[in-house]
Amino acid sequence: MTTPVYDPYEEAKKQLRKAVDLLGYGDEVYEVLAVPDRVLEVKLPVRMDDGTVKVFIGWRSQHNCALGPYKGGVRYHPNVHKNEVIALSMWMTWKNALAGIPYGGGKGGIRVDPRKLSFAELERLSRTFFHAIADIVGIDRDIPAPDVYTNPQTMAWFMDEYSRKVSNQILGIVTGKPKILGGLNVRMISTGHGTAITAREAAKKLWGTVEGKTVALQGFGNAGQYAAKSLYEWGAKIVAVSDSKGGIYSSKGFNAEELIKWKVEKGTVVGFPEAEKTFKSDDPLYLDVDILIPAALENAITKENVDKVKAKIIAEAANGPTTPEADVELAKRGVVVIPDILANAGGVIMSHIEWVNNRMGGWIKEEEALARLEEKMTNNFEEVWKFWEEIGRDHPMRDAAYGVAVKRVVEAMKLRGWI
């Protein structure tokens, strides 16, 4: 028997089917939402530093715009493929609807290992990509942002390329920009901090507090780092952390700030002096901890390995880390899996504040933005938790989150006369 190839788009469609059935909608609603509005595939020829030309490939998927302009990040990764980008754009539709921000869902990706490109090559690739998708984006049309292996510098190039093309300075064409170009410093911490807020709220429900609880993280990029930092500041114990090069463990718990410094300097958590032992990248998934944070990529917890997962709360900082089969299994065992569309919405919630701020010509203070994020994340968590209790906690919490999100999108489509 051959192992079936994992296709995130197939998983995303299964989740949608479940939500449509839960809400009692017919096939028509499923058909309309299962397919993205538009997917643009672009060829990206880039002049490399050695004078040769290399051709890359990229996509922008626009899933649904019933609630407003398409919104979502652009990832650079050697394994990105079209169906992954489509799935991610669908997840953005639900994430934005659930967050209560006036956006539809979009996502982009370039198949590239950015760690193998020079700074100048990355700039040329980024500009070529944005130029190639410029005709389908727009401040009220589609607003990209950072995702895996893209950052404020990438957004600065995107914004500049677009502004040159349209001969207008359109700061709000992308979010997640550097502060001096209309970004907010707190945008960098927002995804991880938001995930930490949802983990904290879930811990309060189960144990009254997050203080003293043990935490393991698989993945230590932007989202993982700031989830760890906030939880550490609230007194949780960060016992295990990993990245693509390996993982480390400490029974006493790591100082998250020191660990972030190490990671930024060395490019990996491996070798951090406080570690008691070293293990493989996926090992944090199987530790007996209170809180597990998958913060890497899709397909981390599957029906093949779900039996080995022992955590009581799982807060999904990554997009799509748990497959639908594993999700059902975990719900049966009473594990609280805070779904990605709720747990990692902090990034796009802050993106929305940045976009509003750009349109107002710069108005919002960093502290105000952070307070808004806190309020939104806790309120959204409460709303989903309440609906979860209504449908029954033997169902995955994701079903409740999807219920709220899909309903909003369908209502908007009905009002627009689309269905």
Q: Which residues are catalytic?
A: 107
Question: Does 351 help bind ligand GLU (rule: CB under 6 A)?
Answer: yes
Question: Does 71 help bind ligand GLU (rule: CB under 6 A)?
Answer: yes
Would you say 291 or 341 has its CB closer to ligand GLU? 341
Would you say 145 or 337 has its CB closer to ligand GLU? 145
Cα→Cα distances 418→97, 210, 385, 404, 414, Å: 17, 45, 30, 19, 6
CB 174, min distance to ligand GLU, A: 9
Rule CB under 6 A: which of 85-104 touch ligand GLU? 95
Q: What is the DSSP letter of 3?
A: P
Question: Does 69 help bind ligand GLU (rule: CB under 6 A)?
Answer: no
CB 353, min distance to ligand GLU, A: 10
Nearest position to ligand GLU, beta carbon: 73
Which one of 290-298, 343-351, 360-368, 406-414 is the stretch in contact with ligand GLU (CB under 6 A)? 343-351
Would you say 104 or 284 has its CB closer to ligand GLU? 104
Distance CA 131, CA 11 (A): 31
Asked if 291 contacts 310 with a C-beta cutoff of 8 angstroms, the reply is no
Q: Can you point out the beta strands (E) in 174-218? A: 214-218
Q: What is the DSSP letter of 5?
A: P
Would you say 95 or 111 has its CB closer to ligand GLU? 95
Which one of 43-51, 128-136, 207-215, 345-353 is the stretch in contact with ligand GLU (CB under 6 A)? 345-353
Question: Does 319 help bind ligand GLU (rule: CB under 6 A)?
Answer: yes
* Cβ partners under 8 Å of residue 183, min gap 6: 152, 155, 175, 176, 177, 354
CA-wise closest residue to 58 among 133, 8, 9, 109: 109
CA-wise closest residue to 199 among 282, 85, 317, 370: 317
Binding site for ligand GLU (CB under 6 A): 71-73, 95, 145, 147, 175-176, 319, 344, 347-348, 351
